[in-house]
Amino acid sequence: MTTITHTTTRATSNTLAIAFAAFMGLGIMVFAGHVQASTLHDAAHDVRHASGFPCH
């Protein structure tokens, strides 16, 4: 009985993780599809500078 309950919980946890990842991925795609190209470039550029990664 304990094994069945544990397996069911793990399956539910995996399903929630997959659903969350799909929701976040879709959200990023929709956001990136509706924003200006220069805004995405500026955001990526600022992140590079903030993380100390040279970009020039």
To the nearest whole number, what is the mean pLDDT of the chain?
80
Mean pLDDT of 16-29: 91
Residue 56 belongs to a domain: no
Q: Is the pLDDT of residue 18 over 60?
A: yes
**Residue 44 counted as domain residue:** yes
Confidence (pLDDT) at 36: 84
pLDDT for the residue 34: 82
Reported pTM: 0.48
How many folded domains does the chain comprise?
1
How confident is the model at residue 38, as a pLDDT?
A: 86
Helix (H, G, I), strand (E, B) or coil at 55: coil
- Those residues whose C-beta lies under 8 Å from the C-beta of residue 48, and which sit 6 or more positions away, are 54, 55
Q: Evaluate whether residue 22 is within a structural domain.
A: yes
| 37 vs 23, more confident | 23
Residue 39 lies in a domain: yes
Q: Which domain holds residue 40?
A: 2-51
Average pLDDT over residues 28-35: 81
